[in-house]
C-alpha cells in the first residue's frame, strides 16, 4: 500500500478540517514522508498516529454544485462533500488543465484560507500526480476560501523586498488577536495602512523568483510557525502557477502573514557555500510525528533542487533541531 492508497482511504473516512478550521495535514504528510524515503510500514504507522485527531467526513447536503453556482458556497465547510463531487466530475470531464485554469482565478482570491493549505495541498497533489487528490484539494480550498478583499494592486513601483521593509517600519511588533493564522491575516488585510502600502507593489516584478528568497529568509531568521507556512505556500505556488499565475493574490496573503508575526526586519543574505547532507535530515524527518517536520524538510529539499540555495538546507535543519 503506497501513499496514494493510504490517502484515498483516509479521504473517504476523514474531513479536511478538524476542531473548527484546522487543516488535515495527512495527505500532504504522507506524500512528503514517501518522497523522503519512508517505508510502507512507516506510512501506516504515521497514518494511525495522525488520524486520532481527525473528525469523520461530513455527509453530503445533496447540493448540486455546478459551473453556474460553484462560487456561491465558498468558505462553507458544510458543502465539503458536495464540492468534492463537483470537482471530481469536472476533472473527469474536462481534464486537469481546463479544471485548474477555470477555477484557480477565483480560488486564488481566497488563498489565505486555512493558512494557505488549499494551495499547499493542491501543490502536493500535482507534485505526486494524484488526480483523486487534486479533486480533494480543490474541494478543501473551496470550503476554506477566505477573501482578503484587496481587488487591485497594479500601479506601484516597489518590489516585494521594499514592500516588506515598509510594512516592517509601519507594523513592527504589531500582532492582532485572533484564533488562528488565517483570521489574523483577515484582520490585517482590513487595515487601511496595510492596503495602502501593498498598493505600492509593482506587479510586474512581484514574481515567484523575487518572493521566494524573501520568504525563505523570513523563515530562516525567525523559525516561526506562520513563516513555515509561507515557505510551503511559496513552494506550492511554484507548482500551481504553471496553470494560473496569481502574483498579486499570493503576495498580498504572504504580506498579511508577515505582518501577523510582528513584521520583523528581514536581512536578505546571499546563499553560502556549504556541504549539505540531506539524507540524514530526511531520515530524522521520516522518524518525526510532528506534522510539520516532514512537510518543511520536503519543501526545502524540493526548493533546494530548483535553486541550489543552501539556505533551504540550513532553515530545514534549524526547524528539525527545534522540533525533533
Tens of pLDDT along 234-261?
999 999 999 999 988 999 999 999 999 9
Of 144, 179, 205, which one is at a domain's C-terminal end?
A: 144
| Contacts made by residues 300-309, CB under 8 angstroms, sequence distance 24+ | 300/231, 301/36, 302/127, 302/235, 303/212, 303/216, 303/231, 303/234, 303/235, 303/238, 304/276, 304/278, 306/238, 307/212, 308/271, 309/213, 309/216, 309/271
Give yes or no: residues 15 and 87 share one domain.
yes
Domain annotation covers residue 28: yes
Count of structural domains, the chain: 3
Residue-averaged pLDDT of the chain: 94
pLDDT of residue 153: 61
Q: How confident is the model at residue 295 (pLDDT cuts 50, 70, 90)?
A: very high
pLDDT digits (tens, 9 = 90+) for 211-225: 999 999 999 999 999
Q: Could you write out the three-class secondary structure of the chain?
A: CCHHHHHHHHHHHECCEECCCEECCHHHHHHHHHHCCCCHHHHHHHHHHHHHHCCECCCCCCCCCCCCCHHHHCCCHHHHHHHHHHHHHHHHHHCHHHHHHHHHHHHHHHECHHHHHHHHHHHHHHHCCCHHHHHHHHHHHHHHCECCCCCCCCCCCECHHHHHHHHHHHHCCCCCCCCCHHHHHHHHHCCHHHHHHHCCECHHHCCHHHHHHHHHHHHHHHCCHHHHHHHHHHHHHHHHCCCCCCHHHHHHHHHHHHHHCCCCCCCCCCCCCCCCCHHHHHHHHHHCCCCCHHHHHHHHHHHHHHHCCHHHHHHHHHHHHHHC
Domain annotation covers residue 269: no
Q: Tell me the C-alpha distance between 271 and 197, whole Å.
A: 29
pLDDT (mean) for 187-200: 94
Of 260, 292, 308, which one is at a domain's C-terminal end?
A: 260
Give yes or no: residues 292 and 214 share one domain.
no
Domain annotation covers residue 265: no
pLDDT of residue 114: 96
- What distance lies between CA 312 and its chain's CA centroid? 17
Q: What are the grid coordinates assigned to 254, written together?
A: 504572504
Give yes or no: residues 116 and 220 share one domain.
no
Give yes or no: residues 133 and 24 share one domain.
yes
pLDDT digits (tens, 9 = 90+) for 3-56: 999 999 999 999 999 998 999 999 999 999 999 999 999 999 999 999 999 999
Of 168-172, 196-200, 261-265, the poorest mean pLDDT is in: 196-200
Domain annotation covers residue 103: yes
Give yes or no: residues 109 and 190 share one domain.
no
Give yes or no: residues 220 and 255 share one domain.
yes
Give yes or no: residues 92 and 56 share one domain.
yes
Give yes or no: residues 184 and 208 share one domain.
yes
Give yes or no: residues 29 and 117 share one domain.
yes
Domain annotation covers residue 154: no
Could you tell me if 134 and 250 are in contact, meaning their C-beta atoms sit under 8 angstroms apart? no
Give yes or no: residues 126 and 178 share one domain.
no
Q: What are the grid coordinates assigned to 212, written together?
A: 521566494
Q: Is the pTM of this model over 0.85?
A: yes
Give yes or no: residues 10 and 115 share one domain.
yes
Domain annotation covers residue 169: yes
Phi, psi of 249, rounded to the nearest 5 degrees: -65, -45
Q: Quickly count: other Cβ atoms within 10 Å of residue 127's Cβ.
A: 19
Domain annotation covers residue 214: yes
Give yes or no: residues 22 and 53 share one domain.
yes
pLDDT of residue 97: 98
Domain annotation covers residue 245: yes
State yes or no: pLDDT of 110 exceeds 90.
yes
pLDDT digits (tens, 9 = 90+) for 176-186: 999 999 999 99
Show the domain range for 31. Answer: 3-144
pLDDT of residue 268: 72
Amino acid at each position: 500500500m503506497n501513499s496514494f492508497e493510504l490517502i484515498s482511504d483516509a479521504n473517504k473516512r476523514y474531513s479536511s478540517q478538524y476542531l473548527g478550521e484546522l487543516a488535515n495535514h495527512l495527505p500532504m504528510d504522507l506524500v512528503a514522508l514517501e518522497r523522503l524515503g519512508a517505508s510502507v510500514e512507516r506510512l501506516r504507522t504515521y497514518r494511525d498516529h495522525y488520524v486520532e485527531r481527525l473528525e469523520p467526513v461530513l455527509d453530503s447536503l445533496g447540493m448540486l454544485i455546478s459551473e453556474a453556482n460553484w462560487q456561491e458556497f465558498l468558505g462553507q465547510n458544510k458543502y465539503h462533500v458536495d464540492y468534492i463531487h463537483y470537482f471530481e466530475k469536472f476533472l473527469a470531464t474536462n481534464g486537469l488543465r481546463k479544471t485548474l485554469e477555470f477555477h484557480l482565478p477565483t480560488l486564488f482570491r481566497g488563498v489565505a484560507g486555512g493558512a494557505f493549505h488549499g494551495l499547499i495541498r493542491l501543490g502536493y497533489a500535482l507534485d505526486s500526480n494524484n488526480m483523486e487528490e487534486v479533486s480533494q484539494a480543490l474541494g478543501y480550498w473551496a470550503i476554506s476560501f477566505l477573501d482578503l478583499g484587496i481587488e487591485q494592486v497594479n500601479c506601484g513601483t516597489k518590489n516585494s523586498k521594499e514592500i516588506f521593509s515598509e510594512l516592517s517600519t509601519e507594523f513592527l511588533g504589531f500582532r492582532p488577536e485572533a484564533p488562528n493564522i488565517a483570521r489574523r491575516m483577515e484582520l490585517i488585510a482590513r487595515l487601511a495602512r496595510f492596503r495602502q502600502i501593498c498598493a505600492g507593489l509593482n506587479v510586474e516584478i512581484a514574481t515567484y523568483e523575487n518572493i521566494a528568497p524573501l520568504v525563505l529568509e523570513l523563515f530562516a531568521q525567525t523559525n516561526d510557525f506562520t513563516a513555515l507556512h509561507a515557505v510551503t505556500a511559496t513552494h506550492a505556488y511554484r507548482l500551481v502557477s504553471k496553470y494560473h499565475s496569481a502574483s498579486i493574490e499570493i503576495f498580498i496573503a504572504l504580506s498579511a502573514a508577515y505582518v501577523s508575526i510582528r513584521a520583523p526586519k528581514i536581512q536578505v543574505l546571499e546563499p553560502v557555500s556549504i556541504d549539505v547532507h540531506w539524507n540524514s535530515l530526511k531520515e530524522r524527518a521520516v522518524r518525526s510525528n510532528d506534522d510539520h517536520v516532514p512537510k518543511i524538510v520536503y519543501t526545502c529539499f524540493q526548493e533546494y533542487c530548483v535553486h541550489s540555495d543552501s539556505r533551504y538546507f540550513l532553515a530545514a535543519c534549524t526547524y528539525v533541531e527545534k522540533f525533533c
